[in-house]
Amino acid sequence: MAGDTSPINASKRTSATSSLRHSQTTRPASPHTPQQQIRSGSTSFASNTSPSSSFRSEDDAIIFEIGARWLRAGFEGNSTPACVVGFGPEDSRRAGDYRGWIQGSAGAARLPQPIAAEEWAQSHELWRLDSREVDLGLVEDKIERAVRETYNQFLLTDAGTTRLVLVLPSLMPHPLLSSLLSTLFSRWRFSSVTLLSSATMSATAAGLRSALVVDLGWAETTATAIYEYREISTKKTTRAMKHLMQETGRLLTGLASNTEDNAGTADEISVGLAYCEEIASRFSWCKSKNYEESSNKFNQTLAIPSPANPEQEYMDVPFLRFAEPTEKVLLASGIPEHEMDDEERSLPLLVYNTLLSLPPDARGTCMARIVFVGGGSRIPGLRQRVLDEVSSMIDRHGWSPIRGKALERQRERLEQLKLSSQRASSQPEVPKGNGEAASPDTPLPDPPEIDFVEQKLRRQNRDTPVPVQGVLREIESLGPWAGASLTTTLKIRGMVEIEREKFLQHGLAGATRDIDHPVPDRRSGLRSGGDRSSWTLAGWA
């Protein structure tokens, strides 16, 4: 009943009330992450235990990877950059400029008039390696705009308040490096800038201390041998993505000329760079070393948007045609080795010559740790083709830099002498006059000496894994930006620490050219020994 006040009912209500209060006190007030599940390896998350705190520590460094086409930026501790900013004309429009939307995709695919191949991609580049053809003032303005846009739209922090880390190739010209540092120090108040080599960071991102990093970049392809985090040899070639895009543009211009009357010449391109890059990223591929032309799976025909009207018209292209630019530009198929300049070597020859220039111990380590990075490394079949070509060069020439017809004739003569000696040793012995066999009076070989030190080392290192050496092997990498993020998270001062006051006083001339590149002190960031106020450019000197 409603008015029942018996002791039994009262005890039931008391127990129900106490259980309800207990459940309310033990239930969490708001969702939260358990303390043991917080990631302890990243400084960006380990110190944030309350929902009201920010997701990033204020002392986290900013990492910039700057190339000829793109700028990648983000915070240390992350595996990928926060943004990728380009330097093309579409990324440099002023407020109120809607030409990119008015023209549409047709205007980007088909150019109003053919353009020479050398001038075709100049508006999409930040710089060119030949500094005589670069307007350094325009380069500084583009860098300032890209950095300001990166901070205001993506990083959402004040520029110059935290440490800045730049990931750059070690073959960067000094005028471009000086313009880049002058822009950062004069227009923002960065206290210091750390320079990290892109090749070394690529090896770090692969978990390696030694590697051969092949960077298929925009203007050139570099092969850098790294041994214990030090660059010991670097070779380059101009066969890179820029020439591949130009050859692809010529191919598409020739295909479009079959349906149009106003076709460009062989040295002119009538399609846009964005359209050409879209086609190349989707359909470019590389043939295998044992490719057969009679294979039916590669004789198909693809329908791609026509440059004249990409939204409504299509043109049929054989799939084999998309492998021609890669074979011609990157692999130099059909061109003899003696007809190529030192700066125009094919990719397999570049890798082989770089390995050939190394000492035997470093060569055996680097050839088993080949890392491919850059935009060209994504072409299907290219990396395996390069390794197959390098393997055939090793089988044909060995590790000797000597070439020529005289050497080939000498090798053939030695092979004939070797065969004749083997045939003579296989013949039966001629008996003597008394019927006994003529056995040469030669002493027995001495037993091999026992090296007790070697046996002791083998017993001690029985459980230690033996490193792979002497075989061609490819290793995957996360790229130079991820390697710089990992290195910066360890709070290790870089080899090149450029302070603001010293650079504004003397520029790059204030750096000492030390050949040995001594390791800096981790506490102060200065060089160990000598003048403590000096600094060095290390690999950029």
> Which is more confident, 528 or 399?
399
Measured CA to CA, the distance from residue 368 to residue 210 in angstroms comes to 10
pLDDT band at residue 383 using 50, 70 and 90 as cut-offs: very high
- Condensed to tens digits (0 to 9), the pLDDT of residues 284-338 reads 999 998 887 655 666 789 999 988 777 788 999 999 999 999 999 999 998 988 8
CA-wise closest residue to 469 among 206, 204, 210: 210
Measured CA to CA, the distance from residue 336 to residue 534 in angstroms comes to 49
Q: Please report whether residue 129 resides in a domain.
A: yes
Q: Quick one: 246 and 385 in the same domain?
A: yes
Which ranges of 292-404 does DSSP label H, i.e. alpha helix? 324-325, 347-356, 360-366, 382-397
Q: Please report whether residue 107 resides in a domain.
A: no
Q: Quick one: 154 and 246 in the same domain?
A: no
Q: Quick one: 154 and 82 in the same domain?
A: yes
In this predicted structure, which of 137-151, 267-281, 389-403, 507-521 has the lowest mean pLDDT?
507-521
Residue 468's pLDDT is 87
Q: Which residue has the tokens 């040995």?
A: 516
Q: Quick one: 262 and 198 in the same domain?
A: no
Residue 56's pLDDT is 57
Structure tokens of 73? 């930026």
- In whole numbers, what is the pLDDT of the chain averaged over residues? 80
Measured CA to CA, the distance from residue 378 to residue 280 in angstroms comes to 11
Q: Which domain covers residue 485, as residue numbers?
A: 62-87+125-205+479-540
- Condensed to tens digits (0 to 9), the pLDDT of residues 220-246 reads 999 999 999 999 999 999 999 999 999
**Looking at residues 151-170, what average pLDDT do you find?**
92
**Looking at residues 383-392, what average pLDDT do you find?**
96
Q: Quick one: 489 and 391 in the same domain?
A: no
Structure tokens of 472? 């061609």
Q: Quick one: 389 and 514 in the same domain?
A: no
Number of domains in the chain: 2
Q: Please report whether residue 266 resides in a domain.
A: yes
**Looking at residues 38-61, what average pLDDT do you find?**
47
- Condensed to tens digits (0 to 9), the pLDDT of residues 76-93 reads 999 999 999 999 887 777
Return phi, psi of residue 423, to 5°: -65, -40
Q: Please report whether residue 272 resides in a domain.
A: yes
SS (H, E, C) 156-187: CCCCCCCCEEEEECCCCCHHHHHHHHHHHHHH
The fraction of the chain above a pLDDT of 90, given in percent, is: 45
* Calculated CA dihedral for residues 320, 107, 245, 281, nearest 10 degrees: -60
Residue 73 has pLDDT above 70, yes or no: yes
Q: Quick one: 161 and 292 in the same domain?
A: no
Q: Please report whether residue 424 resides in a domain.
A: no
pTM of the full predicted structure? 0.79
From the centroid of its chain, how far is CA 378? 11
Q: What is the CATH number of the domain that holds 197?
A: 3.30.420.40
Return the number of other C-beta atoms located less than 10 Å from residue 64's C-beta. 24
Residue 131's pLDDT is 84
Q: Quick one: 164 and 276 in the same domain?
A: no
Structure tokens of 151? 């901070």
Q: Quick one: 368 and 501 in the same domain?
A: no
Residue 380's pLDDT is 95
Q: Please report whether residue 139 resides in a domain.
A: yes
